[in-house]
Structure 1
Amino acid sequence: MGRVVSFEMSSQDPKKAAAFYSEVFGWKVSEPQWDYWGVNTGSKEKPGVDGGVALGPSDYPHGTRIQIEVDSIDNALLKAKGNGAQVAREKMEFADFYLAYLVDPVGIGFGLIERKS
């Protein structure tokens, strides 16, 4: 079963957006890396779903996407495309995980993430 493990908020002013959520909701914001401000929304006693605020790309300048963790990003991409999804960003490799962005058949954007072993 795919679990929602993270979120990403896109903004054309991510520094300002991160400051807003920190002030209003008490989210802990990390130092930015590559125009991405990681956020922690909970504590050890009361966990939350962590994510980040990023500089939105031209095709997704504003909005929020959930990240769904899967065992195999390649299999999930094939299954999603076979069921009407469009791939917005093909599989990308990072140090600890793979990531891809899709749009479902009704226009909702989301991410797929596969952690490396």
Structure 2
Amino acid sequence: MTMWGTVAWFEIATADPDAAQTFYGEVFGWRAVKDEKGAAAGMDYRLITAAGATAPTGGIMATDGAMPGHAVFTVAVRDVAQTCATVERLGGTVVARHEASESGPANAYVRDPAGNLFGLFTPPGGAA
């Protein structure tokens, strides 16, 4: 069970998700499968399950070149909007924020005051 305020997911964003899937699969033994909810919403998102794990703990997102490639950690929070407000109050910035939808949970990309990118999300059902 994940605790609030802990790193609960990671994401690799790339213009070439096939190459990323092959690379990380061969380096770490990670298995990636297409996220059907994301596919239904028109996204190419792949869920990563580490060797020996029973559930995914990360993903590969196809950017189609719309944003720079990156790898980020994502923290489970009770309320994405409230946490974004706290980030801004403390000198960070919100890069993008999305409400929960059929394709995924409420989430955001934010930067700390030094400019480091990280993610926030509320797990489906609001329980970590």
* TM-score above 0.5: yes
Distance in 1 separating the partners of 2:112 and 2:56: 22
More helix by share: 2
Matches within 5 A, 1:89-104: 89-95=96-102, 97-104=105-112
Which of 109, 114, 117 in structure 1 is aligned with 2:117?
Answer: 109
Q: Does 1:54 align with 2:57?
A: no
Distance in 2 separating the partners of 1:48 and 1:98: 20
Write the letter of the residue equivalent to 2:90.
N
- Name the counterpart of 2:31: 28
The gaps in structure 1 that reach 5 residues or longer are none
User: What is the CA deviation profile of residues 29-77 of structure 1, one whole-angstrom value per residue up to 9, with x for unaligned ones?
Assistant: 1125311111111424xx7972011123634x21111111001112211
Give the SS at the match of 1:93: coil
Query: TM-score when scaled to structure 1?
Result: 0.84
Number of residue pairs the alignment of both structures matches: 114
- Name the counterpart of 1:12: 15
- Name the counterpart of 1:72: 79
Write the letter of the residue equivalent to 2:45.
Y
Distance in 1 separating the partners of 2:84 and 2:76: 12
The gaps in structure 2 that reach 5 residues or longer are none
Matched-pair contact (CA < 8 Å) for 1:5–1:49: no
Distance in 2 separating the partners of 1:50 and 1:90: 21
Distance in 2 separating the partners of 1:63 and 1:2: 21
Distance in 1 separating the partners of 2:34 and 2:66: 23
Query: TM-score when scaled to structure 2?
Result: 0.77
Write the letter of the residue equivalent to 2:100.
E
Seq. identity, %: 26
Matched-pair contact (CA < 8 Å) for 2:29–2:51: no
4+ aligned runs moved over 3 Å, structure 1: none
